Structure 1
């Protein structure tokens, strides 16, 4: 799995390059049917990732946000690639650097490999079954990461939230949580903050799609955390025909929190 992880990281880095080429100049923004923005960077990154994954010796079906219709269904062994070529397009348009490339390998509904790169920040988060979870610095150095664990009794929870998608249901949920401070972040970097122990919990009480979470979910898993639905069940990717995730909470611990 280590070799495959490195190959996928290389593919994501190629996508980083084409994204940053667009980021450094003027670009047009169009609007998709669901009213989400789309740039040429999204499309260019999709094509690079598609070609890169198809060139691997392991030929699994690919579900990409930018070509949902091209997905042929879950492959052998319950596996498929789950891709968001540019997560955080709104952050990309704002040029605040908080956008990512997300590539996950799903097996029987569970992410078993994930690569999240942050092109403008020069960093990446990688994880795989039997390998662990790591942060890759801009100079290539990498170090193992792990969640912080449940805050001690009476401690202030570090809650990470979205810059672009505030939720009206969030206030009531936070009241139940107790003393907390909010950290704002865009894209799948929110989950990665928890994976490296810099935040404790991320309640997402708003719409997301499978490709928004798959890669970072793998990073969370192998860093010792979890992603649960509001019913306490692990967030599943077993039915890719259902593109929307249910509401979920990312916990920096394996133990029940509320």
Structure 2
């Protein structure tokens, strides 16, 4: 199954890469919340949805591009959670830092994750408490690496006053600015130790990264004490918005 999922995510990512390298084939639109979306988002969505329905017809698929179509989540104890193109702004700005994200959620827990960066031909994935990086036909197992003071990765496209305040009050070695879910991957492979995220993200933005972080020995925790990262879907109480969080090599106190 994992080999088939790897083939599927590469198929979607390679189609995005073709559209990225041939700008005429990708148009930009804006959703009601004014966030950008492109033809590439929709093409990737269709490839993944079709593939997962063939592979696992009994498991529902929730994607950034179809969640608004769902009205009943009562049967979603297990479901696929997809971001067909994470880092749409990076895609539009042509800095290569975009990914395709797939996660399997079981009873509110991301148990499998895949993140593919097509412009770097690099794939990260996790299963059964292990995580791997696949690049240029070389597969290596990855683990978090602790370092004090930590290297920190933050979003390239989102400035945030709370993040600035946080960074002013901690010791760190260096800061890397990066787009999309690649930030989770740097933590998982030990290149950085902390990814703090203040502000709005959605469950499909983080689920695959969450799975890979945990499988590599790291941690995902909510910054807000009264809130937790929640993937449990309910028709009566459903939100796709996450609390602020840390993805890190060790627990943050």
Query: Above 0.5 in TM-score?
Result: yes
**2: CA distance between counterparts of 1:125 and 1:161?**
19
| SS of corresponding position for 2:169 | helix
Give the aligned length: 246
**Residues 104 and 115 in structure 1, CA contact (< 8 A), matched pair in contact too:** yes
**Residues 153 and 175 in structure 2, CA contact (< 8 A), matched pair in contact too:** yes
**1: CA distance between counterparts of 2:209 and 2:158?**
18
Q: What's the offset of the Cα at 1:206? A: 1.1
**2: CA distance between counterparts of 1:74 and 1:106?**
14
Give the structure 2 partner of residue 175 of structure 1: 168
5+ residue gaps, structure 2: none
Q: What's the offset of the Cα at 1:128? A: 1.1
Q: How does 1:47-126 map onto structure 2 within 5 Å?
A: 47-57=46-56, 59-71=58-70, 72-73=72-73, 75=75, 78-126=77-125
Structure 1 stretch displaced more, 239-248 or 201-210: 239-248
Please tell me the root mean square deviation across aligned C-alpha atoms, in Å: 1.7
Q: What's the offset of the Cα at 1:179? A: 3.4
**Residues 12 and 48 in structure 2, CA contact (< 8 A), matched pair in contact too:** yes
TM-score, normalization: structure 2? 0.92
Give the structure 1 partner of residue 229 of structure 2: 235
Give the structure 1 partner of residue 252 of structure 2: 257
Q: What's the offset of the Cα at 1:257? A: 2.9
Q: Any idea what the Cα deviations from partners look like across 1:146-177, whole Å, max 9, x if unmatched?
A: 0012x3xxx33211000101111012212332
Runs of 4+ in 1 over 4 A off after TM superposition: none
Q: What's the offset of the Cα at 1:213? A: 0.4
Structure 1 stretch displaced more, 157-166 or 228-237: 228-237
